[in-house]
Amino acid sequence: MIRQRRQLSLLFLISITAFVTGPNCYGVENAVWKYDLRPGDHLIYKYTFERAYRGDDGQSRTRAEYTSHIVVVGQHEAGTSVGFQRNRESAELLAYRERGRDKLSEEIPKFRERIGKRPIHFSEAMEFNPLGEPLAYWEAARETTSKLILGLHEVEALPATPPAIGDSWKGSNLLGITFKLVGRESSGDKNCARIDGVDAGGAVHLRYWWCDGNGAIEKIEFDGEYSVPGGTVLETARFRLTAKKRGEDLNSWLQDPEVRDAALQSLLLSPWIGVKNDAIEEVLKIGDSRTRALALTYIYQTKPKDFALDKVQSLATDPNLGVKRLASRLIAVDKDGGANQPPTCALKEPQFPAQKIGTTVRLAKDESGAHPYMIRVPGEYRTTKKSPLLIYLSGGGGLAIDGVNTAAGTVEETDYLVLYPQAGDYWWQPGIRSRVDRLLTQVLHEFNVDTNRIYIAGFSNGGTGSLDYGELWPQRFAGVASLMGAGQCNPQVAAGLKNLKQLPILLVHGERDPRIEVGCSKDTFEGLKRFNPKLEPVLHILEKREHDVTLQDDDGFTLSFLADKTRNPFPKQFSAVWEDLASPRRYWIEVLEKGSGVAEVEASIQSENRIEIAAHGIKRLRLLLRHELLSPGLTLTVTVNKKRVFDGLFKPECSTLAESSSRIGDPLLGYEQVLDFDIKK
């Protein structure tokens, strides 16, 4: 199991690294390959996707047919803006066997019900240079829940210089594929170069045909295999170019449901492309909920003050929550979330970079290397407005794409930023803990997050991880949700359960879970209650459910539970434990040195600036103080284990607050004065 997780994690690590390194150069004598894409171009591909599963418990095979539309919406010196829309024409369950029995007829209705809940079209956009190299982040949430399909696109990066037969190059494909020109073949009446690609592990193959004078890829064949718990999955995809049209019009695309979303995605990605307001108004009238949400996002992001709000008034009561929220946001006056800044120190407002809307694949770098993650940016996100953040930890091997595939349909109707880290192992492993810690800090520096509304949730392995991270960093979160997690059946979670005492905790479990017994969540619920938490934890046992309660299938409990929760970053009383010092801080206390066992504190701030601490197993500790906890200019008294260790003034320093807030990325976890103490026996 762990080996399978590591194989998939390595695949995505290699893929993202390839994404940022780009192609190598090979000087040969053939003609330069470049895309011939001009505004008004419209390419149409027929696209088939098949998935075959074979495992210990049975086999299954599915097939879906799509028509893929690629429209070139704009072009300037920096690149070409292209929209993609893949419309599903059919989906079939072709085979299904379970424990040796053919159950196809029984499963077909269930399959159709599942497919009926998925959108019939998917859209995204990208800006490219002439070689087809992407100039932005690719979308992660695709038309199917494949682990590999996010790396397959109708526009692949071409070699930087003309290749000869036998030459190889590394493209910017997300799957880390090395390409080779193997020869030339005829495709209809075209003379084409055939390019074969394979990933480092030899499990993923991508072939495409580049034909003379065409200026686009003629045909794509894809095959990829990967392990899943109990079996393997083989996926194949086939694209065939059926038409290349020129001279079409943006306004006609916005009226055509086959390509409308592709055009909107391109407009949203590339605001330098002009479009008249009345064209967008027509989209609001005739589009489905996803299309209306895209149109409203475009208005909100590019021209909220130039658009007649009476045109969106009726959408404020739309039955789709995403549409309703966007329309209401356009009509209402924006208000920043989070607590006010301290009146004693005026912190400089940070400047955040612009972000691509959607769920994109990205890379975090640190001293240990480069690590993929995915993040969802909602349509109403702005760099000048605070947004809540949900961290969602996937189950199984802890792959970010699994998190996207089990949450995207649910979170798209919220205004949450959603962070999908990647583990490739158990979330509570020390190296992964520190990686997620660094990633969260990076996100806080790059996105305008309402730090009083950061939530963490996870499924299975991720459910256990969400409780573990809540214990490690209770000062960061406004709420924690564990879906099918092991809870205190995991020794590390059991050891730190006291650290969740200040946090709202939700536990959801399937009654018939065969992998993680429902008793784990029940025992965690009772264990938390024994600590007399500030808020009693909430437990939901879902009848007749097995190990399948993800964010999108939790009967709506997680998001409704978290919705009204806000953090208290300044509790004047709390208790905490430390097994190690990898995460030394809990609220306003940091343990600098501990003994060989578990370190514990009971801390409280009394009236008249009196701090009382009972400490066990601690040699040195640090207090991180600010005016919300104490009264400036008055005498501060600190008592540790009933011994007075400090008498002096509380002197908040604005420079200390500015430095610590900037480093942490959270102004409400910055501090104004630091006091260190040695604790004598």
DSSP calls for 222-261: EEEEEEETTEEEEEEEEEEEEEEE-S--HHHHHT-TTTHH
Which residue has 């207090």 as its token pair?
A: 623
Please count the CA atoms within 13 angstroms of the CA of 315 that sit on its side-chain side: 31
Q: Does 624 have pLDDT greater than 90?
A: yes
Domains and CATH numbers, the chain: 2-245 (2.30.230), 251-331 (no CATH), 358-562 (3.40.50.1820), 573-678 (no CATH)
Q: State residue 317's pLDDT score.
A: 87
- Which residues fall within 8 angstroms of residue 278, CB to CB, at 6 or more apart? none
| Mean pLDDT value across residues 270-280 | 91
Q: Does 5 have pLDDT greater than 80?
A: no
Band of residue 681 on the pLDDT scale cut at 50, 70, 90: low
Select the more confidently predicted residue: 74 or 347: 74
Distance CA 449, CA 466 (A): 19
Q: Give me the helix-helix angle, 461-472 and 430-446, nearest 10°.
A: 70
Distance CA 120, CA 288 (A): 11
DSSP calls for 116-181: HTS-SEEEEEEEE-TT--BSSPPBSS-SS--SSGGG--SSPPPPSSPPPTT-EEE---TT-PEEEE
Query: How many residues does this entry show for the chain?
Result: 681
Q: Does 70 have pLDDT greater than 70?
A: yes
Distance CA 264, CA 81 (A): 11
Distance CA 199, CA 565 (A): 44
Task: Compute, in degrees rounded to 10, the torsion defined by CA atoms 439, 445, 450, 456.
Answer: 0
Paired tokens of 435: 């990686």
DSSP calls for 395-460: STTT-HHHHHHTTHHHHTTS--EEEE---SS-TTSHHHHHHHHHHHHHHHHHS-EEEEEEEEEEET
Return the closest-CA partner of residue 558 out of 489, 631, 462, 646. 462
Q: Does 398 have pLDDT greater than 90?
A: yes
Q: State residue 680's pLDDT score.
A: 76
- Which residues fall within 8 angstroms of residue 303, CB to CB, at 6 or more apart? 277
CA geometry: angle 442, 446, 447, nearest 5 deg: 115
What tens digit of pLDDT does each residue of 218-253 get?
999 999 999 988 899 999 999 999 999 999 999 999
What tens digit of pLDDT does each residue of 499-527 get?
999 999 999 999 999 999 999 999 999 99
Neighbours of 578 (CB within 10 A): 25
State if pTM tops 0.85. yes
Select the more confidently predicted residue: 16 or 43: 43
Return the closest-CA partner of residue 462 out of 549, 388, 398. 398
Select the more confidently predicted residue: 26 or 430: 430
How remote is the C-alpha of 472 from its chain's centroid? 21
Q: Does 3 have pLDDT greater than 70?
A: no
Longest alpha-carbon distance in the chain:
91
Which sign does the torsion angle of CA 238, 243, 248, 253 carry?
negative
For the chain, the average pLDDT equals 91
Q: For residue 167, what are the β-bridge partners? A: none
What tens digit of pLDDT does each residue of 571-597 get?
999 999 999 999 999 999 999 999 999
